[in-house]
Structure 1
Amino acid sequence: MRHHAKLTLSTFLCSALLSGAALAQATHPETGEPLAEDQTFTYRVLDEHSSVDPQVVEDTIGAEIVRDLFEGLMNQDAKGNLIPGVATSYDVSDDKMTYTFHLRDNAKWSNGDPVTAGDFVFAWRRAASPELASPYQWYVKLMSLENASEVVAGDMPPEELGVTAIDDHTLEVRLSAPLSYFPQMTTHATTFPAPQKVVEEFGEDWTKPENIVSNGAYVLTEHLPNERSVRERNEMYWDNENTIIDKTVALVINDENVALTRFMAGELDRTEVPAGQFPRLKKEHPEKAVSFPQLCNYYYTFNQSDSGPEAFKDVRVRQALSLAVDRKIITENIKAGGEPEAYTFTPEAVAGFTPPETEMAKMTQAERDAKAKELLAEAGYGPDNPLTFDMIYNTSESHEKIAVVLTQMWKQKLGVQANLANMEWKVFLETRGNQDFDLARGAWCGDYNEASTFLDLLDSESGYNDGKYSNPRVDELLVQAKSADDSAPIYTEIEQILAEEMPVIPIYHYAGVYMMDSDVGNWPVENVEQNWYSKDLYKIAE
């Protein structure tokens, strides 16, 4: 017997039948709202994206673009639920170790070639291969694919990875252990297909607008680094007739106040609210200022590698610095957008996760400050031996404000001297990834809605464990959680260990705090992962 998880297409077919006539009348097929003549969505991003190669991209900004250009096995709806992508359904074996995905027969690449199971096999092998050395190579191991660890280590050829094209429209995936949330992981860019002949013909240049071939609802038509990226409708996309947005433009604007000014001038449809300005903007523009929970955390990570400062190898120092951070000042006075204070690494918004009540969370700030002084003195630091270190963050006014306040708190309460340095995004990523830092800003948005997407970052083998924290018990628990019937108590134990050992300083958990033009329809505010797709948006006539 095989369990069959069928994803119905009836609602999509109904929508398709309705849409032709509705769009001809310039109204939305479901809501009846009048549609704007110009269906261009323009939004601001802070930095240049890392890549638009699905197997290479490592940042949120790039992933947003990649989700438009490429389509994986599964997509998400406005609430974060799984819906069909290239796959219309999948079967799961009784032992939950084999998934068989059934691919639609009308999926095409932008050059007209059919999208096949072989395109996924090529992409997944590519992601795992030492040859590509993808910054997200570790994600393939996280998926528990058969032989993934051996392929990533170079001990087995990529052909041994547990993924096979049974035929052009049937993809078989074999796992090394059951993973209840495996289907959710296929909405991540790393698992998207790649066009083998284009990749092999152009090498690293295959993602340039003049070369790229993609299978998503959009194609890349323009890219001016550090300035703008443009994607436009892919006429070959299988559901193109139900796509309403014609063009999406991402503008790189490093200064959030400049971005706000351009939003107010009508140049942008969406931008982030500058730190501290949400209460005013919500009062002045209630229909445009929005805040909602988002599956991301904001933290600082200690470099505990051999190249890190000796002081940070002492747990008392790490605890003292974390205790002295008054998170309420940051969330209420600096951010002021509804962000909750963080005393755990995993956000409370994660599905099925109940954060443990840590000792620090139960203390008053005065009690935390007193404990911090005591711990730092025990570690041997004080007026005669002041603690000094460097801390880095990527360029942003909001990040700068938070970093400055942190240094002031530590200076005033503990006599600690922290020296600040800001860096352009790609330089920052490289510096942090090479452990060329003492204390570094970190932030993570969940790749899927499950606690492991955060906690796996602190696994000893994680590619994004930039602080090189290592605890065998944490590693062991993370392995157990993957196959546990109830992983909640395991995640609670991990968070309790992290609260004691403090490899990172959790600061706050994100809220999506935007200025959003009221003529933008269907922004997925209920999707805490904020996996949005331009094909699901529309512009309302004003």
Structure 2
Amino acid sequence: MKIRSAIIPMLLSTTLVTAAFAADVPDGTQLAAEQVFTYRVLDEFSSFDPQVVEDVNGSEVVRDLFEGLYNQNADGEIVPGVALSHTVSEDNKTYTFTLRDDAKWSDGTPVTAGDFVYAWQRAVEPELASPYAWYMELMSIENGAAIIAGEKPITDLGVSAPDDHTLVVQLSQPLPYFAKMVSHATTFPSPKWVIDEHGSEWTRPENIVSNGAYVLTEHVPKERSVRERNEMYWDNDKTVLDKVVTLVIGDDAQGLTRWRAGEVDKTEIPSGQYPTLKEEFPDEAYALPRLCNYYMTFNVKNGPEPFQDVRVRQALSYALDRDVIVDRVLQGGQFSAYTFTPGATDGFEVPEVDYANMTQAERDAKAKELLAEAGYGPDGEKLSFTYLYNTSESHQQIAIVASQMWKQKLGVEVTLENQEWKVFLETRGNQNFELARGAWCGDYNEASTFLDLLTTQSGYNDGKFSNARVDELMAEAKSSQDTNPLYAEVEAILAAEMPVIPIYHYSTNIMLSDSIQGWPINNVEQTWYAKDLYKVAE
């Protein structure tokens, strides 16, 4: 709710964020004697450092360990975190956040606005080389881009702390969805005194100091991590779960076996098994729309010569039968994708793209025609390349099916290569690939969180696609009141240039024990916090 402010003339409006809710346990609920939530992840986390973490599962842990200005509720709406509210100036370029006075770090030190200033400056500091530095640039924080480029000192970043409970953010341009962006891990506070003492080892269990609902008490890389209640957390009295255990289980089938055995409360459903499991466990098998896309990215910077030809890229895209992949391979409610941005994105109107309206037979015929025009195929040069993906049963199945489609329809020879997650990220980030798997889950619920990935300056534009018009449109969209025409043109350019092949838009397919309550099934970002969950007696 916004109300006019007559007290401070510079400020136009005050935003009071909806009241926060921790675990909302209905009256009469019989809680389990042991409040421990155990769940499985596929790979080791990239980091527990808010300004360094770059993967979805790692961010889930960081959201428990640290708390930013705002959190999300079960419907994806922002609710108070360390900040209680914010005001916005008349020109929509100055945000002033009012911080609560009862927030503390796990060592008892008060959380202050200065902790946010330090963290945000750290995120853009070239020396740290945060993989999410570009996100701070996307937030349009004054001087952010220049600092990241090494042209200005971090002290010039448009963020300041007039006092311990006031954080002022100056933007270089209005950004209508700015408040949504501060629930992201990169914007969480960091404890300077701990980092100064321990350096890169500050996130080890024996060193870490955090301000979220939980503290990290154990971490065995590639095996398990444990987080337990932070007694210093301002809302600890409403937290129910005492402990959260994360197990790294690199095989979907093994994860399901351990779920069946009651060893984990949550795991992902193996590809193709959702219909059967939903019938067997109607109250514990879920297929939930999720704000994520799955795609393949061409290395257009230094990949093989054929990938420099748009006709080759289009042919490979057209020849993939997405309906087969989602309906026969995955079978989990995923949506065939012909645009990069998911249709579930808030306010996004899915534009018409030509190849989406073709039948698959028409796409196949066009693919053969395009490939022949480019000089490849039965009557031309043999096309071959390597497809890189990170180790996972479902990724492997998609890779196999795609390679078979390309071979049968176009005569293309594909070598499949899989790598462990961290190695894969490094390989792809260094452009040491030809065609690689990609996926992105929205950092906030607005189309720019996807389309900005394919701008020239994006830190996650791994194929190094560059189009001046895309850059121009995305820059214009940041201050536009009607973004859909701009986003539609960007999607049209992507469909024409095909720097990436959209495959599907996600559905979260999980087995979740019915003893775990409070899961945010209506949040399309699937942003969850352990503090909002509780375990009932069986």
- Mapped to 2, the partners of 1:252 and 1:106 lie a distance apart of 35
- Report the equivalent of 2:363: 368
Cα deviation, 1:171-229, whole Å, max 9, x if unaligned, reads 00000000000010000000000000101110000000000000000000000000001
Does residue 1:261 correspond to 2:270, yes or no? no
Gap change, CA 1:511 and 1:281, over 3 Å in 2: same
- Report the equivalent of 1:5: 14
Cα deviation, 1:79-104, whole Å, max 9, x if unaligned, reads 00010000001000000000000000
Q: How far did residue 32 of structure 1 move?
A: 3.3
- Report the equivalent of 1:325: 320
Q: Report the 3-state secondary structure (helix = DSSP H, G, I; strand = E; otherwise coil) of the residue aligned with 1:527.
A: coil
- Report the equivalent of 2:3: none
Q: How does 1:431-450 map to 2 (within 5 A)?
A: 431-450=427-446
- Mapped to 2, the partners of 1:31 and 1:507 lie a distance apart of 45
Question: What amino acid is the match of 1:7?
Answer: L
Of 295, 305, 311, the residue aligned with 2:306 is 311
- Mapped to 2, the partners of 1:398 and 1:80 lie a distance apart of 27
Q: Report the 3-state secondary structure (helix = DSSP H, G, I; strand = E; otherwise coil) of the residue aligned with 2:290.
A: strand
Q: How far did residue 31 of structure 1 move?
A: 4.7
Does residue 1:279 correspond to 2:304, yes or no? no
- Mapped to 2, the partners of 1:435 and 1:154 lie a distance apart of 23
- Report the equivalent of 2:218: 222
Of 329, 353, 356, the residue aligned with 1:334 is 329
> Is the contact between residue 17 and residue 78 of structure 2 (CA under 8 Å) also seen in structure 1?
no
- Report the equivalent of 2:98: 102
Q: Report the 3-state secondary structure (helix = DSSP H, G, I; strand = E; otherwise coil) of the residue aligned with 1:275.
A: coil
> Is the contact between residue 25 and residue 534 of structure 2 (CA under 8 Å) also seen in structure 1?
no
Question: What amino acid is the match of 2:317?
Answer: S
Of 192, 195, 200, the residue aligned with 1:199 is 195
- Mapped to 2, the partners of 1:3 and 1:527 lie a distance apart of 30
- Report the equivalent of 2:350: 355
Q: How far did residue 3 of structure 1 move?
A: 2.9
- Mapped to 1, the partners of 2:212 and 2:250 lie a distance apart of 28
TM-score w.r.t. structure 1 length? 0.96
Q: Report the 3-state secondary structure (helix = DSSP H, G, I; strand = E; otherwise coil) of the residue aligned with 2:95.
A: strand
Q: How far did residue 293 of structure 1 move?
A: 0.5
Of 114, 127, 130, the residue aligned with 2:126 is 130
Q: Report the 3-state secondary structure (helix = DSSP H, G, I; strand = E; otherwise coil) of the residue aligned with 1:389.
A: strand
- Mapped to 1, the partners of 2:304 and 2:174 lie a distance apart of 40
- Mapped to 2, the partners of 1:139 and 1:5 lie a distance apart of 25
Gap change, CA 1:433 and 1:8, over 3 Å in 2: closer
Q: Report the 3-state secondary structure (helix = DSSP H, G, I; strand = E; otherwise coil) of the residue aligned with 1:118.
A: helix
> Is the contact between residue 296 and residue 438 of structure 2 (CA under 8 Å) also seen in structure 1?
yes
Q: Report the 3-state secondary structure (helix = DSSP H, G, I; strand = E; otherwise coil) of the residue aligned with 1:249.
A: strand
- Mapped to 2, the partners of 1:215 and 1:60 lie a distance apart of 20
- Mapped to 2, the partners of 1:182 and 1:30 lie a distance apart of 34
Gap change, CA 1:419 and 1:169, over 3 Å in 2: same
Does residue 1:288 correspond to 2:284, yes or no? yes
Q: How far did residue 34 of structure 1 move?
A: 1.3
Cα deviation, 1:278-309, whole Å, max 9, x if unaligned, reads 0000011101111110000000000001x211
Does residue 1:89 correspond to 2:89, yes or no? no
- Mapped to 2, the partners of 1:4 and 1:519 lie a distance apart of 43
Q: How far did residue 522 of structure 1 move?
A: 1.0
> Is the contact between residue 296 and residue 502 of structure 2 (CA under 8 Å) also seen in structure 1?
yes
Question: What amino acid is the match of 1:56?
Answer: V
Identity %: 64
- Report the equivalent of 2:519: 523
Q: How far did residue 446 of structure 1 move?
A: 0.2
- Mapped to 1, the partners of 2:14 and 2:332 lie a distance apart of 39
> Is the contact between residue 297 and residue 501 of structure 2 (CA under 8 Å) also seen in structure 1?
yes
Q: Report the 3-state secondary structure (helix = DSSP H, G, I; strand = E; otherwise coil) of the residue aligned with 2:478.
A: helix
Q: Report the 3-state secondary structure (helix = DSSP H, G, I; strand = E; otherwise coil) of the residue aligned with 1:214.
A: coil
Q: What is the RMSD computed on CA atoms of the aligned residues?
A: 1.1
- Report the equivalent of 2:419: 423
> Is the contact between residue 3 and residue 91 of structure 1 (CA under 8 Å) also seen in structure 2?
yes
- Mapped to 2, the partners of 1:6 and 1:466 lie a distance apart of 37
Cα deviation, 1:210-265, whole Å, max 9, x if unaligned, reads 00000000000000000001100000000000001111111000000000000000
- Report the equivalent of 1:22: none
- Mapped to 2, the partners of 1:335 and 1:38 lie a distance apart of 35
- Mapped to 2, the partners of 1:400 and 1:6 lie a distance apart of 47
> Is the contact between residue 7 and residue 83 of structure 1 (CA under 8 Å) also seen in structure 2?
no
Question: What amino acid is the match of 1:96?
Answer: N
- Mapped to 1, the partners of 2:351 and 2:179 lie a distance apart of 28
- Report the equivalent of 2:6: none
Q: How does 1:146-157 map to 2 (within 5 A)?
A: 146-157=142-153
Which range moved further: 376-385 or 209-218?
Answer: 376-385
> Is the contact between residue 79 and residue 524 of structure 1 (CA under 8 Å) also seen in structure 2?
yes
Q: Report the 3-state secondary structure (helix = DSSP H, G, I; strand = E; otherwise coil) of the residue aligned with 1:410.
A: helix
Q: Report the 3-state secondary structure (helix = DSSP H, G, I; strand = E; otherwise coil) of the residue aligned with 1:207.
A: coil
- Report the equivalent of 1:539: 535
- Mapped to 1, the partners of 2:341 and 2:453 lie a distance apart of 11
> Is the contact between residue 106 and residue 232 of structure 2 (CA under 8 Å) also seen in structure 1?
yes
- Report the equivalent of 2:5: none
Which range moved further: 393-402 or 486-495?
Answer: 486-495
Q: How far did residue 8 of structure 1 move?
A: 5.5
- Mapped to 2, the partners of 1:537 and 1:167 lie a distance apart of 34
- Mapped to 2, the partners of 1:515 and 1:161 lie a distance apart of 44
Does residue 1:476 correspond to 2:476, yes or no? no
> Is the contact between residue 125 and residue 159 of structure 1 (CA under 8 Å) also seen in structure 2?
yes
* Number of residue-to-residue matches in the alignment: 528
- Mapped to 1, the partners of 2:87 and 2:352 lie a distance apart of 39
- Mapped to 2, the partners of 1:262 and 1:35 lie a distance apart of 23
Q: Which runs of 4+ in 1 moved over 4 A?
A: none
Q: Report the 3-state secondary structure (helix = DSSP H, G, I; strand = E; otherwise coil) of the residue aligned with 2:286.
A: strand
- Mapped to 2, the partners of 1:504 and 1:365 lie a distance apart of 19
- Mapped to 2, the partners of 1:351 and 1:5 lie a distance apart of 23
Q: Report the 3-state secondary structure (helix = DSSP H, G, I; strand = E; otherwise coil) of the residue aligned with 1:419.
A: strand
Of 486, 494, 498, the residue aligned with 1:498 is 494
Question: What amino acid is the match of 1:465?
Answer: N
- Report the equivalent of 2:141: 145
- Mapped to 1, the partners of 2:377 and 2:357 lie a distance apart of 27
> Is the contact between residue 395 and residue 425 of structure 1 (CA under 8 Å) also seen in structure 2?
yes
- Mapped to 1, the partners of 2:482 and 2:310 lie a distance apart of 31
- Report the equivalent of 1:117: 113
Give the gaps of 5 or more residues in structure 2.
Answer: 1-8
- Report the equivalent of 1:243: 239
Give the gaps of 5 or more residues in structure 1.
Answer: 20-27
- Mapped to 2, the partners of 1:434 and 1:112 lie a distance apart of 41
Q: Report the 3-state secondary structure (helix = DSSP H, G, I; strand = E; otherwise coil) of the residue aligned with 2:14.
A: strand
Of 466, 486, 489, the residue aligned with 2:462 is 466
- Mapped to 2, the partners of 1:524 and 1:31 lie a distance apart of 19
Q: How far did residue 33 of structure 1 move?
A: 1.8
